[in-house]
Structure 1
Amino acid sequence: MESIPIHETKTVQTRLVLPPDTNHLDTIFGGKVLAYIDEIAALAAMKHARGTVVTASIDSVDFLSSAKAGDTLTLEAFVTYTGYSSMEVYVKVTAHDLLKDEKKLTTESFVTMVALNENGEPIPVRKVHPETDEDWKLYETAPLRREIRQKRIASRKK
């Protein structure tokens, strides 16, 4: 099975933060951001797998700053590493205050998606290969994140 460059899995979405999306502090609900993260991670993984995927894990979500009503959110996702049927997807969320033309990183996350066939069984996915410095950093650190994830899951089975 061939390997593809990470950039071919890149997916970008832009969303407007509306008042119903915000809490009493006028900032976006974390759960809303999580839904956006899950959706874009699935899109990047589907692009890579060329088929159906499901979310296996949202390993980490770091809320670094907030976005308020009127801001736009740009979500970027790409596959950083693959296993047999699993894909680690990195998601970065940036808020843009259009009136002040100020941008800030709001959220970073790692999501594991699994490719499935029509019977719901895991199927193999292509490998990815890094090209940029950011790609390399994420690619080289992915096995450690995978090991931590597997230990966490194994500890729950005891």
Structure 2
Amino acid sequence: MREETMKPASESRTIMTQLIFPLDTNPYETMFGGKVMEYMDKVAAIAAMRHARMQAVTASTDSLDFLAPIRVGEVIEVEAFVTWTNRSSMEVYVSVSSENLFSGLRKTTVTAFFTFVGLDENGKPASVPTVIPTTDEEKKLHASAPERYALRKKRKQDRRVE
């Protein structure tokens, strides 16, 4: 494999920080799940495009797990990086942590895997660089990615309407 077609996962790492206001929350003063998902998709898209250096579109979202509520007045940090690649697809791991600015308490609130497809100038799937994991977290996610890929492929196949 040519060296220029391989990139470390760290090059795609993207982080966004947001303060959560009342308009971002439901009547229970916790953040709307859809709003969290919007932020996650945006950050994942940036990570995918940083990795591929081309347009990329969301193809799938899975294992979206809401682990704890995000409350009005907290700060969230949305972090994403490419964990694994196939020919034109990229798996992006996204995690959201919240922080109470007064107590300093931080917790992981949401995690998910997004799949993006790199597109050429004609909007057709294009080859993307292979990702190289370097940290323990990146290596663990990279090693388990083929199994998630196979499950996504099977799920997609099972849902096809003939």
Alignment partner of 1:60 is 2:63: yes
Tell me how large the CA RMSD over aligned residues is: 0.8
Q: CA deviation at 1:118?
A: 2.0
**How do residues 6-155 of structure 1 correspond to structure 2 at under 5 angstroms?**
6-155=9-158
Structure 1 residue 89: deviation in Å? 0.1
Q: Hey, which bits of structure 1, 4+ residues long, moved more than 6 A?
A: none
Give, as a single letter, the amino acid of the residue that structure 2 aligns with 1:116. L
Q: Write the letter of the residue equivalent to 1:48.
A: H
What letter is aligned with 1:112?
T
**Deviation string for 1:90-130 (max 9, x for gaps)?**
00100001011110100000000001112110000000111
Q: Distance in 2 between matches of 1:8 and 1:125?
A: 14
| Equivalent pairs, count | 158
Q: Name the SS of the counterpart of 1:81 in structure 2.
A: strand
Write the distance in 2 (CA, Å) between the matches of 1:71 and 1:126. 36
Unaligned ranges ≥5, structure 2: none
Cα shift readout 1:44-90 (whole Å, capped 9, x = no counterpart):
00101101110000112100001111101001100000011100000
Per-residue CA deviations over 1:22-48 (Å, capped at 9, x if unaligned) read 001100000000000100000000101
2:159 and 2:7 map into 1 onto residues whose CA distance is: 34
2:8 maps to which residue?
5
Percent identity, please.
47
What are the ranges of 5 or more consecutive residues in structure 1 without an aligned counterpart? none
